Amino acid sequence: MNAPARPAGPQDTAGAAPAGPATAEAATRPPARDRYFDLLRAVALFRVVLYHLMGWAWLPVVFPSMGVMFALAGNLMARSLKRPAVQVVRGRMRRLLPPLWLLGAIGVTGMLAQGWSPDEEHPAWWWLHLTYWILPLSDPPYAEGVAGIQGWVGEDWAAELAGPLWYIRAYLWFVLLSPLLLRALRIQPLAAIAAPLVLSAVLQFGWLTIPFERIDSAVTDFSTFGACWILGMAHQQGVLKRIPQYVAPSIAPIIACAGLWYAFHQDFRTGHDLDSIPFAQALWSFGTVLLLLHLSPAWSEWPHRLRRWDWLITLLNSRAVTVYLWHNICILVAATLYDRLWGFPALEQNVPWLLESSWPVLLLVWILLAGCVVAFGWVEDLAARRRPRLWPSASR
């Protein structure tokens, strides 16, 4: 967050001496990072990886990562829109798409090598849908039922590779719509924030149906996480600070609990998670994000207890897109490799509990993700027009 403007003092008058080197350096220095937001983003990313490995339905309840990540992105987008909208949108797309292109170049090549080819009945549509790997206005296609590599990569790896791409598609649409969303927020703040939640209810209760699957998925994701994105914008614009301090902590738990109540009435207990109940996800994420933004301490420096984790949080923030894009395939590879230990009779007979545990797999997943950071993460630096770094763990 930007620091509040300093009140004019005697040295700000017209008769003041010219600014010295220190003043000039301060003027050109980029705004200090909000370390609280960095912490939230790192926790959200770790929770996503943990959830996709463990599958615990309660994890999205403890911390709704996707709502938090969209809110943080909305906050950053609103701050950037002080510049011309076209320039900002183009810059966000430039930073978002190259990591996807690298993933697609490797993934699509692998799918083609394993026999993926155009649909015989509609070959033109196959080629057209392939362009979604370049500009993901809809979910990029993938080969279904692709064979794995025995002992190394499990079957249907293409589906795991493409699984996280809905987030990239949703993020892109939020970026494209942000100038309009910000204008609506400035004109009617309450209506702009509430509109996605109302749309989510309309879709959930069947009052509106969208016949086209690709459009339906985009609208559903907007209705589920749009309020979080706009909340992030509202926080940056100071909208949340203009309401009485007791309002947010009073209404946020009510909205969140309403979402949880609805989830429990939609078979949440029987293994369904919040992702399968978009309206419950929308309410729970909104309430939680509202509380987190209300409590925002706006750290420009780390509290003492968190300084030891600076390198890890910085790394996760600098390589958030890389970690998110590659984590599913890393989980699949890690699980496949770990399953090979069942081939050792001594381990199978003496420590079967260890072979059945998912915690060693989690450790292996992060080792593989570290390899992905080194191998592919530099693309994020190039996309942001920074000097490429293999391991960006130092704060700037």
What is the DSSP code string of 307-344? GGGHHHHHHHHHTHHHHHHHHHHHHHHHHHHHHGGGG-
**What's the whole-model pTM score?**
0.89
- DSSP letter string, 98-161: HHHHHHHHHHHHHHHHTT----SS-HHHHHHHHGGGTS-SSPPP--TT---BTTTB-TTHHHHH
HSE (CB half, 13 Å, CA atoms) of 252? 20
Tokens of 222: 């907007």
Question: Residue 385 has what DSSP assignment?
Answer: T
State the pLDDT at residue 22.
43
- Measured CA to CA, the distance from residue 106 to residue 109 in angstroms comes to 5
- Amino acid letter at 336? T
Task: Tell me which residue of 282, 228, 220 sits closest to 255, measured CA to CA.
Answer: 282
Task: Tell me which residue of 71, 240, 72, 85 sits closest to 178, measured CA to CA.
Answer: 85
- Measured CA to CA, the distance from residue 302 to residue 310 in angstroms comes to 8
- Measured CA to CA, the distance from residue 37 to residue 81 in angstroms comes to 19
Strand partners, 153: 149
The alpha carbon dihedral of 352, 354, 356, 361 has a sign of negative
SS3 293: helix
Q: Provide φ and ψ at 149, rounded to 5°.
A: -110, 115
Asked whether 119 and 126 are in contact (CB, 8 A), the reply is yes
Tokens 């050109």 belong to which residue?
28
- Measured CA to CA, the distance from residue 185 to residue 231 in angstroms comes to 9
Torsion (CA) 154, 155, 160, 161 in degrees, nearest 10:
90
HSE (CB half, 13 Å, CA atoms) of 42? 18
Note the pLDDT tens digit of each residue in 23-47: 444 444 445 688 999 999 999 999 9
- Measured CA to CA, the distance from residue 355 to residue 373 in angstroms comes to 27
Asked whether 148 and 156 are in contact (CB, 8 A), the reply is yes
Question: In sequence order, what are the residues at sequence separation of 6 or more whose Cβ sits closer than 8 angstroms to the Cβ of residue 333?
Answer: 152, 153, 154, 368
Asked whether 334 and 361 are in contact (CB, 8 A), the reply is yes
Tell me what the pLDDT averaged over the chain comes to.
89
Question: In sequence order, what are the residues at sequence separation of 6 or more whose Cβ sits closer than 8 angstroms to the Cβ of residue 347?
Answer: 341, 354, 355
State the pLDDT at residue 273.
83
Residues of the chain with pLDDT under 50: 1-30
The alpha carbon dihedral of 288, 290, 291, 293 has a sign of positive
